[in-house]
Amino acid sequence: MTLALMQPVELSPTFLWIQHLIEAIGIGGMWSIVITYAILAVVTFGVLALLALFLVWWERKFAGHIQQRFGPMMTGWHGWYQTIMDAVKLLQKEDILVVTRDRMVFFWAPIIAFVAAFAAYIVIPFGNGIIVADLNIGILYIIAITTFTIISLLMAGWGSNNKYALLGGMRSAAQVVSYEVPMVASILTVVLFAGSLSMVDIVDSQSGWFYNWNIFRLPFGPIAFITYIIAATAEANRTPFDIPEAEQELVAGFNIEYSGMQFAMFFLAEFVNMFTVSAIATTLFLGGWTGVLLPSWMWFLGKTFAVVALLMLFRWTFPRLRVDQLMEFSWKYLVPITFANLILAGWMKYAGWYW
């Protein structure tokens, strides 16, 4: 067991050429692997930062068109670099710090949110072989690492020393604990049929035509997908489950005392989280990168953006649930449904009634 842990995680074959290149210039052994991973981390980070910027812009456009207005229009073609300008503005801003804050907790909260949001992408397959590391516990790792976001929200709520922020933090903790359960139960349904926790294996189990996708494995596939999407919306703190930062009740919730770049980190983390849950939905239910004609990464991005669009549609059309209704919905409806679904799926797997 200890031996296995000390082994470096195997690099995806697609990126072996980077390691060979580094070895070619004379850096060998362990260091070549470390440097390769560092390069991949920087590239992933860059891609995701761009994606998050794009998502912010897209959300604003999406909201604009739903609300019969244009959204950002002034900066570039249809306002395409509006989010870049916003980020630059936030970078220049003074960090206004509350004197009564808890210094350490306040400082680390956005960093943890940011890192946790990005760290999930180690195991997300963007295409056939385009994955940083195919961990054999991939999906478990994602669940574990994305839950870190909650700690950061709680820290932000506590560290701000503000009653609204504290309420927001407590709300988010309660919400995520409640919705983690149905989310994991929905994910387990898929894991049951793939027979593996590895993201690549899960996608491979859905290869072939679209009827092999988990969402089309009747009857439990669609149910698991719907419950997952509901739970994921709550995980990503989006309407109708956006109570941690309900503007009309808590002003801004946990991030009320944050300004400048610290606020931007929360903001970007939120959008990265939205992309994460959509990417997981794509991988688990929509066949991941599989598809015909187009390159695999295009299929993956296309499907993920479709799920993102669904989440955006929720946000701009639904009212917000109340905090007790939210808990009730999870424990009274979602948890029993997902577990019944899981048992059904297990039974069908045992009986062999599936394709």
Partner 1 sequence: MTEVGLRTEEFQVNMGPHHPSTHGVCRLLLTMDGEKVVKVEPYIGYLHRSIEKICENRTYHQCIPILDPFEYVTALSCNYVFALSAERLAQIEVPERAEFLRVIMLELNRIASHLIFFGTTAMDIGALTPFLYGLREREMIMDLFEMTCGQRLTYNYIRIGGVSKDILPAFVPKCRETINIIKDKVDEYEALLNGNPIWKARTIGIGPLSGEKAIAFGASGPILRASGVKYDLRRDDPYSIYDRFEFDIPTRQNGDVFDRYVLRLEEIRQSIRIIGQALDGIPEGDFKAKVSLKFKPPAGEAYTRIENSRGEMGVYLISDGTEKPVRVKTRGGSYNHLQLIPEIATDCLIADLVAIFASFDIIMPEVDR
* Contact footprint for partner 1 (CB under 8 A): 63, 66-69, 163-164, 167, 170-171, 239-240, 242-243, 246-251, 315-325
**Between 146 and 172, CB nearer to partner 1:** 172
To partner 1, the closest distance from the beta carbon of 270 in angstroms equals 16
Q: Report the distance separating Cα 254 and Cα 166, nearest Å.
A: 7
As a three-state string, the secondary structure of 101-169 is CCHHHHHHHHHHHHHHHHHHHHCCCCECCECCECCCCHHHHHHHHHHHHHHHHHHHHHHCCCHHHHHHH
In one-letter notation, the amino acid at residue 204 is D
To partner 1, the closest distance from the beta carbon of 151 in angstroms equals 21
To partner 1, the closest distance from the beta carbon of 243 in angstroms equals 8
- Least Cα distance to 108 among 41, 165, 159 occurs for 159
The residues, any chain, with a CB within 8 Å of residue 36's CB and separated by 6 or more, are: 11, 15, 18, 19, 22
Q: Tell me if 184 sits within 8 A of 127, measured CB to CB.
A: no
**Between 159 and 240, CB nearer to partner 1:** 240
**Between 14 and 317, CB nearer to partner 1:** 317
**Between 182 and 253, CB nearer to partner 1:** 253
Q: Tell me if 273 sits within 8 A of 149, measured CB to CB.
A: yes
To partner 1, the closest distance from the beta carbon of 165 in angstroms equals 11
**Between 171 and 303, CB nearer to partner 1:** 171
To partner 1, the closest distance from the beta carbon of 140 in angstroms equals 32
In one-letter notation, the amino acid at residue 44 is T
